[in-house]
A and B are shown apart, each in its own frame.
Chain A
């Protein structure tokens, strides 16, 4: 008994000694790590590093691969290589095609795995190890929101890639985060008049919703606008992200009494759920004396490619499509096509534009300091980037521009000509007051 109590006593003393020594050792490196920079990751050499954080695996991997292609192209153009792309059409333009502020642009890449944890780990590596001064990318709103708040905490800029949830620039908006892509509120506002015209005012909708922030947001927006038309919502079922098989969710739709299926899915999930819905014969059905219809509120050409024949005649909205005829879109399609041999997706477009906008803002501010860059981007009005006149609203860092309503092309002229632009909804019709979605930007952190 005495022996054992002695043992514990001594080991406690040993332990205290070790902790004390450890504490000293721990504090030693801290002294050297005190930074001499004015702001985090200030580029001191001849280069500046950007971090491209995209999903390379998981349900959104196709989008991620296309985003990465666009980023590489943007870096080329910024460094004055290639044909210059949108540098030729962007107005107003401060970039000179010699890097950013005379520094050559370098990049690091990472895989978000469409998981918040992995995305944050990858972004942290870019910030802490590789010295990235700006993080961009993401093809999921959950990831975008997680990385955006990380960038706010760390004090670097986050240029959101493909993220469509209202929350990114709504209740989860941050001073350091900027979004060029549109959101579900705009999708709802743009789609509703077309749905009314095509399907009438007396419809019963059934929602299948990806169970995370974007799905909830889109379900809410579509409900809000369709119910304003007089539609009823039969039910809204949540499905896990990356489910793969949706048959168990689609079977109940058949006998639910609903005559419109709204698929709040994206990426491979949407390809799978739409294909299965069509295989189950939903589109050949007659319910309540009307043809059964399927709506995919957020559409992309990559998904259309995955879904093949099933996409024909289905309505949705999109941020940008390669078939647009304005000078900016044409220039981007041309240089992307020359580089990779096929046209870019909307994900590629928004990521490319975001990189250029960031670079341009640095030139305007004359510094990489995030506070200066934020000031330059807030309220920035530009044109020639494929969406017509666009404004980065200062109050919520959301871009406001026209929204495209598209339909799956019945007679595609090529394997890429899959979406037909039905309507271009002007900016004024999709705009909303910044206070509507709540949230608080906070302040610049540098």
Chain B
């Protein structure tokens, strides 16, 4: 018994160490795929966190929430207000963002979780859309509407003022003197991502995580055995809301600005796509999905005909023009199309997402070279998928 626990704990430590290594060396491997610049790496980490948190709700309990962008927005606004009122230091911003989005998630979760299945999804969508409209046009004194909430030089910042810290003409967030833009900003996000991943790993391995999974596989049976499932669901909802709030605050930390469009339903849909694309209910899947989508959004959308012509330069002139004509609808402003095609291919052929794809590839490789060993670590802790409710 003891050895089994130890070995699984060692395995988890290895997973975590490996994950930390991959994340922290992102500037190096990012260079290889043309993604090695701070802004995109920050986005990878931030949306990775968002998706990890979302996966705790959707992946474990099977409850499909369409309103998580609202918590992202609350996190962003809270962080910017913390910059405006308290200090440009990132720590209070992160703490308050997590706290407030947690409270917000508790309120929305309390109401929405009275229903299951599609009704739950619609309720969360309705609440998120309400939050978006409030932020966009009703609560403009708090959110500054479409223009977005910005940090100004003449904001009070009581803590900074008390400590005698001066800011420049355009205030930037800092971590005890270290300005959090560019690579320092990425490493701050990366550390948060690793912490978030570690916490998610703990949940996956805990009895609490097992109960969430049990809710997914059969909530009614769970209730008949005497479990009150609502506290579990609500706490999972709040935890994933706090992840979203943390991600939102990191967006504000790396770029001190908060806009209502972060709360739009398309942003909620995006995190659903990220989770499914990567692998629902897996540890790494959501991060992989988030990275893929952000990569497409930032790199594919920047390809223009000039770039395509260079890419196909080795072909004869006629073929170059033909290839450019064929590929140009799929890059630049057509990046959504490419993403859509990729998404369809994955859902049809490997419904378990990119993680299942990698797994299949690895199994194929193993069958050829060595007899199958024990269950490989780090992925697909369970095989059930699809909403159970």
Contact = CB atoms under 8 A, between A and B. Distances in A.
Interface string A1-30: 000000100110011001101100110011
Contacts of A19: 191, 194
B183 A29 contact: yes
B16 A115 contact: no
Interface stretch (A116-124, A197-205, A249-257, A413-421): A116-124
Interface residues of A, number: 49
Contacts of B9: 7, 10-11
A341 interface: no
A149 B333 contact: no
Contact of B20 (A18, A238, A445): A18
Interface stretch (A103-111, A288-296, A315-323): A103-111
A61 B187 CA distance: 36
A240 interface: yes
A124 B194 CA distance: 24
Contact of A26 (B17, B146, B187, B333): B187
A30 B25 CA distance: 11
B255 A120 contact: yes
B37 A125 contact: yes
B172 A212 contact: no
Given A26-B190, A56-B333, A442-B170, A117 B183 contact: no
B147 A18 contact: no
Interface in A135-150: 142, 145-146, 149-150
A211 B261 contact: no
Given A109-B304, A121-B39, A440-B169, A149 B150 contact: yes
B43 A121 contact: yes
Interface residues of B, number: 51
B16 A153 contact: no
B301 A22 contact: no
A238 B137 contact: yes
Contacts of A145: 147
A33 interface: yes
A431 interface: no
A26 B24 contact: yes
A117 B28 contact: no
Contacts of B259: 115-117
B17 A18 contact: yes
A433 B181 CA distance: 36
Contacts of B169: 152, 174-175, 440, 442-443, 445
Given A15-B198, A25-B21, A116-B259, A129 B37 contact: yes
A128 B183 CA distance: 10
A98 interface: no
B277 interface: no
A312 to B, nearest CB: 31
Contacts of B251: 117
B339 interface: no
A211 B145 contact: yes
Contacts of A122: 298, 301-302
Interface string A62-78: 00000000000000000
Interface in A224-258: 238, 240-241
Contacts of B304: 109
Most A CB atoms within 10 A — which of B9, B137, B146? B146
Contacts of B17: 18, 21
B132 to A, nearest CB: 10
Most B CB atoms within 10 A — which of A14, A129, A146, A150? A129
A129 B36 CA distance: 7
Contact of B147 (A57, A124, A142): A142
Given A108-B302, A116-B259, A152-B170, A142 B146 contact: yes
B55 to A, nearest CB: 21
A211 B137 contact: yes
Contacts of A241: 146
A213 interface: yes
- Chain A to chain B: the 7 pairs with minimum beta-carbon distance, closest first: A442-B169, A212-B146, A124-B39, A128-B37, A129-B37, A56-B333, A213-B147
Interface of B: 9, 13, 16-17, 20-21, 24-25, 27-28, 34, 36-40, 43, 136-137, 145-148, 150, 153, 168-170, 172, 181-184, 187, 190-191, 194, 198, 202, 251, 255, 257, 259, 261-262, 298, 301-302, 304, 332-333
15 contacts: A10-B9, A11-B9, A30-B183, A110-B302, A116-B257, A124-B38, A125-B37, A125-B40, A128-B37, A128-B39, A142-B148, A152-B169, A153-B181, A211-B137, A212-B146
